[in-house]
Structure 1
């Protein structure tokens, strides 16, 4: 009989993990050389050679799964021995290693480590096998613990230890210290997304669509994780452990958004019961939808997008078969240019100034009330920490409970202090806002461009009572409301108003005393019934001024 026919057959299992590739003692070439030499010395025939580049924490490895499946299916081609250099090449998980050894033995295959030979059929050798299998698992656990402790220590120092989130990039200083830095345009895109969600003009889907239109090229899940990531406000999160509670540390990197903006977004996201107004995901792209009619057939135009070669284009178009369509970007430019022509008549400056001051004063009063409640809440949280400290000293609670109460309260105090500081800054700016706001009565274009979708549609409704018609090159003459005509056309302005000159204007702009709210609109406008002005006309003008004052106030206090 041929001598080679009775030689036992062995498959060679060669495994390295990614971090071990550079180690010569674990290289695939070295392992194969050692295993083949062992087979030559012991007259063993080499069967298959399996190369694995995967961690041994589990047996869920690509090549091992494929190999073990072939052992189950091909009963006639099974080897008698499975060779590897050391037991840590076979497994670094004691429990799974024992289960796999029993499965191999059930298939008639004996696992053998050439550099750690062991006859596992001898009962006493089970202790040595347990030692060989346990040591790699202990090494893995210790290495993992050291890495986690190092990462936690780096986070406590305010460093981002992982891959930089969208809007940031990983960098290294000259001394080798790693950090993250904002990178454009993604940083601006993410900042805009936070502002849109916080102002409730966009829900998360709408903010994501707006971001993708401007260059955000990640998935929606990535966007969702990003807006929940406190790194954007300069905070590094440190997860809780059995010995330490969850905390946020001030990071060493540059924040993209403020803390108050970030936590406002989180409060909106976490309020699952709060339903934002239902609207189309792309409504903000069509502020003139519902205000335009088709030049050919007279039907109201709607809007939608069309995918081009490199980007998406948006059009106002007709429902009917006339196929009329207008590019949104060109039409919006024409509309904004048309708003340039609206200049407030100087006769109305004193009235607008008074009403704007009144509106800002009311807003300031509301913010003062909010400031009071914020200050009260901060005091309550500080008292809560003080009471917890007293309970700790008395022995009623242990140290871990006190740390949890203190950490949770301090996080809330920081958020409330940020809100309080922002409110106080706004209150200090009110005197400057009055002068700026008065000029905005004559800058409807600026109000329209900087406003949200609601502001755009409100301004359009206030100015144009009828549908707009355009051929894409210009807007056809459209009548404006009577109140707008009175305010922005000198020929139609009321007579008998307050006399107005530069000296009075200067005096009014520098006036800081509180204003008395007039009881009658006629008295406010300086009119009398003898001017042949109807009550409805006066009320329309006053209503328009009040509405514009509210829009300007919202714009100023953003």
Structure 2
């Protein structure tokens, strides 16, 4: 009589391991190793059922369970579709996913290829209805826990920002992150402070993001360079329009911390004057509304972005009408363009005539002796302000250099046990040398600024030759020059008068009441 020997079919088991953070992954035996060891032990206990462990490792260290964008998981799903896996083993169900929607998608894939799912510590098998029910319950709690953790983190960040604390992220040019205290803080980097201010001033001078990007490339100035906690270099990329816009609109430079749409006073020291920051935001808004029209003013519209309708407080835009081969320029209230003629009493103004009125009024002001005196006074005050700013930058650099010397002394006199500080000491020496060069350059700039004077006869000559100088400029240059001096031109349709407001308070006090009827 013959005897037939039967055996269980082989079940190829894949162990999936995941850890949300990278902390501890560099250890000799980490969390991923512990998860795999537990999975191998469980598979070995099912040896009589034909279970065998696939040698391939499906590990995701430092990846969230809230999505499926994980290399180890992607490889696992590919091997399942290829028919290489019959069972997926995890330490806990939330190691595979913390999202019900993602898990449902994976379960569809598992069922389509007859793959079962087993959790070692929660011992259930999805080949049974009770196992599937238990799995759904556990997964619901896993997703709930993930959402609660997310809410707590968001609430904590919001509370910290309301108190003006830096809550982490990529360091910005002009600041370093001081982690010597329990809560990280932003500390002014004196070497980068003056560069940040110059970038703000450069944008006001050049008038467009692209022009500044080109200038920064020529100067060799780059974005913030920084090191991760593991010593990996980051940043130090070239500026583009996106990174430059992010720098120019970051309220951190005026000592503010942004949370959503609100601004709060920060713990860190501001490095940009609020007036300078505000002027840059206004220039960005003007360029944003017109697509940079002020910069690309092809038709030389002198009052583009400056002329305002007093009746409805809307800007008046530069428009055209044509007859045959001739083109006629006008300024039209944007309220009329948007809502029709009845929405505003101000009619379209001939561009050449209104521009001539403004230029003539400005020309008359240049012949006023009182105005010339105020201009000279304002220029001298600006020189004093600039010298104060340069001295402040130099003082910050000296403080930075003193801190470097303190750290150097600490590392050389009382080195930490079993720690090689050679690279840190070399880096500090480089920083001290670089800071010393920066201080020397500032000393030279301060000396030059103190020696430079603005003689009153030069001011007289500049105003006396205004007509000749103005005539040599192109329409685009005239528009740009006028925009630098004039803040606002208001047209009142009730009496056809024009009122000019200048950027400087000196101009404003002398001219805001001056009006002149249009032809």
1:492-550 per-residue CA deviation (whole Å, 9 max, x = no partner) reads xxxxxxxxxxxxxxxxxxxxxxxxxxxxxxxxxxxxxxxxxxxxxxxxxxxxxxxxxx9
Q: Are the equivalent residues in 1 in contact too, given 2:255–2:266 (CA < 8 A)?
A: yes
Q: Distance in 1 between matches of 2:191 and 2:6?
A: 73
**Match status 1:45 vs 2:52:** yes
Q: Distance in 1 between matches of 2:33 and 2:101?
A: 29
TM-superposition CA deviations, 1:376-426 (whole Å, max 9, x none): xxxxxxxxxxxxxxxxxxxxxxxxxxxxxxxxxxxxxxxxxxxxxxxxxxx
Q: SS of 1:18's equivalent?
A: coil
1:12-60 deviation digits (Å, cap 9, x = unpaired): 1122222564699971111111111112111121113312222111112
- How much does 1:166 deviate? 3.0
The 5-angstrom pairing of residues 246-285 of structure 1 reads 246-271=261-286, 272-274=288-290, 275-278=293-296
Task: Tell me, yes or no, if the aligned pair for 1:9 and 1:81 is still in contact at 8 Å.
Answer: yes
Bigger-Rg structure (1/2): 1
Q: Is contact 1:170–1:178 with CA below 8 Å preserved after alignment?
A: no
Q: Are the equivalent residues in 2 in contact too, given 1:164–1:180 (CA < 8 A)?
A: no
What's the offset of the Cα at 1:91? 0.6
Distance 1:161 1:119 in 2: 43
| 2:91 corresponding residue in structure 1 | 85
TM-score, scaled to structure 1: 0.48
On the 8 A contact 1:93/1:133 being kept in 2, the answer is yes
Aligned length: 307
Aligned to 2:249: 228
Structure 2 residue corresponding to 1:207, chosen from 212, 219, 227 = 212
Please provide the CA RMSD for this pair.
4.2
Q: What's the CA shift for 1:231?
A: 0.9
Shift of 1:264: 2.2
Map Cα deviations across residues 74-119 of structure 1 (whole Å, 9 max, x no partner): 24xx221111111011111112112211211111111111111113
Partner of 2:371: 358
Pairing of 1:449-468 with structure 2 (within 5 A): none
Hey, what does 2:311 align to over in structure 1?
A: none
Q: 1:273 to 1:6 in 2, by over 3 A?
A: closer
DSSP 3-state at the match of 1:132: helix
Give the secondary structure class of the aligned counterpart of 1:145. Answer: helix
Structure 1 match to 2:403: none
Q: What residue is the counterpart of 2:39 in the other structure?
A: 35
Q: Secondary structure at the match of 2:176?
A: strand
1:107 and 2:113 correspond: yes
The reply to whether residue 191 of structure 1 matches residue 197 of structure 2 is: yes
Report the Cα distance in structure 2 between the residues aligned to 1:26 and 1:92, rounded to whole angstroms.
Answer: 21
1:109–1:120 Cα change, 3 Å: closer
The answer for the alignment partner of 1:130 in structure 2 is: 136
Return the offset for 1:163.
Answer: 3.0
Unaligned runs of 5+ in 2: 223-237, 299-365, 378-451, 473-502, 508-519
How much has 1:171 moved relative to structure 2?
Answer: 2.8
Q: Where in structure 2 are the equivalents of 1:217-366 lying within 5 Å?
A: 217-239=238-260, 246-271=261-286, 272-274=288-290, 275-278=293-296, 356-360=369-373
Alpha-carbon spacing, 1:91–1:114, altered in 2? closer, same or farther (3 Å): same
Deviations 1:200-230 (A, max 9, x none): x331111222233332244432122111111
Helix, strand or coil: the match of 1:116?
Answer: coil
Alignment equivalent of 1:177, drawn from 177, 183, 197: 183
Q: Which residue of the partner structure matches residue 10 of structure 2?
A: 7
Q: Does the C-alpha gap of structure 1 residues 360 and 197 become closer, same or farther in structure 2, counting only changes over 3 Å?
A: farther
Point out where structure 1 has 5 or more consecutive residues left out of the alignment. Answer: 240-245, 281-352, 365-435, 448-454, 466-549
**1:107 and 1:225 mapped to 2: Cα distance?**
49
Question: Is the contact between residue 12 and residue 83 of structure 1 (CA under 8 Å) also seen in structure 2?
Answer: yes
Q: CA deviation at 1:360?
A: 4.7
- Flag the 1:209–1:64 CA change in 2: closer, same or farther, 3 A: same
CA 1:143–1:441: 2 relative to 1, 3 Å: farther
